[in-house]
A and B are shown apart, each in its own frame.
Chain A
Amino acid sequence: MTIVRQISGFVIRDILRSRWSIANTMFFAIATAGLFYLQADSARVAVSISSLSLVFIPLISLIYTAMYYYNSRDFIELILTQPIGRRSVFLGLLLGILISLVAGFITGIGIPYVILGSSDWTDISAVIAVIVIAIALSSIFAALALVAATRCDDRGKGLAVILGMWLVAAVLYDGLVLAAATALAEYPMETPLLIASLANPVDLSRVLFLVHSDMAALMGYTGAVFIRFFDQPIGLVVATVSLLAWFAAPVWYGLRRFNLKDF
């Protein structure tokens, strides 16, 4: 475990020195500050940031992780010649990337909030919800990107794969589900829609945020279904387990592939 910590410590220092971390933080800081100027209400800003995060956090986490991996192959090869197991290398990389991603995001959103936001509890709880969802999505997509980069030695191919993941999860999925629901409108769609939202971490995060911030009513009929399910303990447990599975599965698979890989 100390080795994992040392490797992640090195990764964090390495990333903090790079332009990537500054770009990540600045992006969210500027977006948040901009939203405060457009709409003064903190709660509304939280909603806008959450929709922004649902699209951009997966994208940023994917690209950031894969780029870091591809740029660090020399570093990885060097540590693999030392008495250090591959498990530790993989977990150390993932942990270091994740911490720097999340830290950048929290600083980016947090500073404008502290300066411009209200101290009303409901607003703060909305921000906390955004941050929790951001951590979940960063973890899931960083792990997925590390799997893609481990599988594809070719940088171009790896980036194409992760862009595909992002397009499906953050852009197309929602539309496809909606289209399917409309086409099958005469059938009972509650259960299929619930399953569809559990099957995509971005969708699941969106639903959780909307339910949490009492915005699900805006989603009409399906919103009511989701409130009924996710607003009770069992729904929250199912949602949490699903998000954890979305993180654990790529980590488990990535460890296996990384362990079998030729360097």
Chain B
Amino acid sequence: MIETKGLTKYFGSFAALRDVSIALHPGRLTGIIGPNGSGKSTLIKCLLGLVRPSDGLVLHNGRLPDTGGSYRAHIGYMPQRATFPGDLTGREVLALVSKLRSEKPHRMDSLIDLFDLHRDLNKRVRTLSGGTRQKLSAVVAGMYDPTLLILDEPTAGLDTGASKVFKGYVSEQLKQGCAVLMTTHIISDLEEMADDIVLLVDGTVSYAGSVRELKLTTDRPLLEAAVAEILQQGAA
């Protein structure tokens, strides 16, 4: 389990996150939604230790993250913009990661099959299409069977078929008890998959709770309409 307590992040004098407290649970998908620049990626990067919070805590299984970063062994991360050393081929990237972790990735081959990546693995990452790079990123995220998947707009670059395959993979992980955190601007994806919703506006949580409760309290059967309702209440 991973949770944040009063997480606050300032970039200079700009508050990107303000007093954000959320918790992720095994087997549940938490969707983070919010307008561009509302702090979704910043929140995710705080969970991973890529961005250092100005205040508040991130707890992994109730403990503070260690400086050696060993807690990241159980986290699979797909960044919003997949960054790999551009001169390497996909295969070299995967080899690099497994060498650094000095552990064989047990799920690698099945994920390469799943995303049909075989043909592209020998190309330099620089020359890969955006969607293909995203699939490579999915393999890197999943190849060590993480117990927490952190996905920053994972389906943004994927075609319909690949997106479906990807969502199938996430559902399967959820069934196995993996906790999933996902940001997206495609609300229909969350309608399908999300159990909990965190709505971020200007770095502040304006709703955090289950999708069911959200629909009940706003009296809207559709997630999209329910979210719009909350946003409107906030603006009023």
Most buried by A among B52, B69, B70, B93: B69
Q: Check A261/B70 contact, CB under 8 A, given A6-B100, A82-B101.
A: no
Whether a CB of chain B sits under 8 angstroms from the CB of A234 is no
Residues from chain A with Cβ under 8 Å of B68 in the complex: 83-85, 88
Which one, B83-91, B161-169, B219-227, is touching chain A? B83-91
Whether a CB of chain A sits under 8 angstroms from the CB of B25 is no
* Shortest distance from the beta carbon of A261 to any chain B beta carbon, whole Å: 7
Whether a CB of chain B sits under 8 angstroms from the CB of A72 is yes
A64-83 residues with Cβ-Cβ distance < 8 A to B are: 72-75, 77-83
Name A's interface SS: helix
Among B50, B70, B102, which residue has its beta carbon within 8 angstroms of that of A80? B50
CA distance A3 to B70 in the complex (A): 12
Whether a CB of chain B sits under 8 angstroms from the CB of A191 is no
Whether a CB of chain B sits under 8 angstroms from the CB of A154 is no
Q: Check A79/B67 contact, CB under 8 A, given A262-B51, A263-B45.
A: no
Which one, B30-38, B71-79, B182-190, is touching chain A? B71-79
Residues from chain B with Cβ under 8 Å of A88 in the complex: 68
Residues from chain B with Cβ under 8 Å of A78 in the complex: 83-85, 93, 96-97
Shortest Cβ distance from A79 into B: residue: B100
Whether a CB of chain A sits under 8 angstroms from the CB of B48 is yes
Whether a CB of chain B sits under 8 angstroms from the CB of A86 is yes
A3-53 residues with Cβ-Cβ distance < 8 A to B are: 3, 6-7, 10, 14
Interface string of B82-118 (1 = CB under 8 A from A): 0111110000010011011110000000000000000
A-B contact count (CB 8 A): 70
Interface size on B, residues (CB 8 A): 29
Residues from chain B with Cβ under 8 Å of A85 in the complex: 66-69
Residues from chain A with Cβ under 8 Å of B93 in the complex: 78
Interface size on A, residues (CB 8 A): 27
* Shortest distance from the beta carbon of B102 to any chain A beta carbon, whole Å: 7
* Shortest distance from the beta carbon of A151 to any chain B beta carbon, whole Å: 15
Contact between B77 and A81 (Cβ–Cβ < 8 Å)? yes
CA distance A69 to B85 in the complex (A): 12
Q: Check A262/B50 contact, CB under 8 A, given A6-B100, A82-B97.
A: yes
* Shortest distance from the beta carbon of B40 to any chain A beta carbon, whole Å: 15
CA distance A54 to B97 in the complex (A): 39
CA distance A79 to B72 in the complex (A): 11
Interface string of B184-212 (1 = CB under 8 A from A): 00000000000000000000000000000
Most buried by A among B72, B85, B99: B85
CA distance A80 to B68 in the complex (A): 10
CA distance A83 to B99 in the complex (A): 12
Residues from chain A with Cβ under 8 Å of B67 in the complex: 85-87, 259
Sample of 9 more A-B contacts, CB < 8 Å, known A14-B85, A79-B100, A88-B68: A74-B83, A77-B50, A81-B77, A82-B97, A83-B73, A87-B67, A261-B52, A262-B11, A262-B50
Could you give 19 example pairs across A and B, Cβ below 8 Å?
A2-B102, A3-B100, A6-B100, A7-B100, A74-B83, A74-B86, A75-B85, A78-B83, A78-B93, A79-B100, A81-B72, A82-B97, A82-B100, A83-B71, A83-B72, A85-B66, A86-B69, A87-B67, A261-B52
